[in-house]
Chain A
Amino acid sequence: EADIYQTPRYLVIGTGKKITLECSQTMGHDKMYWYQQDPGMELHLIHYSYGVNSTEKGDLSSESTVSRIRTEHFPLTLESARPSHTSQYLCASSDLGTGNNSPLHFGNGTRLTVT
């Protein structure tokens, strides 16, 4: 059973709408991540956070923004959704306190479709 939760699982929304994808984890992990996943492609890191009030952009440019006000919560926001934002968004967390080979723990993802 996942200890990291993403809502909604599926979202279909019209162009220009503002959306927030929620991600919460109950493991007390300091590091959290957002990945974008398209079919047949590698996961692309779009945002990450080392802890509260820390956010960084990842390797793939994204028009989304994130916030980290609480350790357990790492929401992703799109101010104005476009069809090019259609994708699956995966949230993950890790505990680097257990070593550099600590794995990522993933949520089940949010599949976003912008019409």
Chain B
Amino acid sequence: AQSVTQLGSHVSVSEGALVLLRCNYSSSVPPYLFWYVQYPNQGLQLLLKYTTGATLVKGINGFEAEFKKSETSFHLTKPSAHMSDAAEYFCAVRTGTGGFKTIFGAGTRLFVKA
């Protein structure tokens, strides 16, 4: 069965500092992986998605994620945090089985301090 674990329900960084949001997945078959962002009172927006064969995936707003199969991880990073990055971030996994359903992690709320 698929599952997604996001380490840390809250992460706080200073403006300009590195952002690292952790995601580990479990899947019996090669997964399709996604990061979504949710701003207050809005739905989720796609940040980036894993493409087979790539280890480093670039997304919008300067975010990127590294796929490490050996560690079953898909951590999200951004070199320099901006105040506008404050939001909730969700890691998600989908496999070709199970009707193509997408399973989400519990989310990590990112706080950015001035």
B residues apposed to A, CB below 8 Å: 4, 9, 32, 34, 36, 41-46, 49-52, 90, 92, 94, 96, 99-107
Contacts and interface: CB of A to CB of B under 8 A. Distances in A.
Interface of A: 2, 4, 6, 31, 33, 35, 40-43, 45, 48, 50, 56, 58-59, 90, 92, 94, 96, 100-101, 103-109
Nearest to A91: B43
27 contacts: A4-B43, A6-B43, A35-B104, A41-B107, A42-B105, A42-B106, A43-B44, A43-B90, A43-B104, A48-B99, A48-B101, A58-B101, A90-B43, A92-B43, A92-B44, A101-B94, A103-B36, A103-B46, A103-B49, A104-B46, A104-B102, A105-B46, A106-B43, A107-B43, A108-B42, A109-B42, A109-B43
B107 A101 contact: no
Contacts of A107: 43
Contacts of B94: 100-101
B45 A106 contact: yes
Nearest to B41: A108
Nearest to A107: B43
B107 A103 contact: no
A42 B101 contact: no
Nearest to B4: A42
A61 B42 CA distance: 24
B100 A42 contact: no
B101 A106 contact: no
Contacts of A41: 106-107
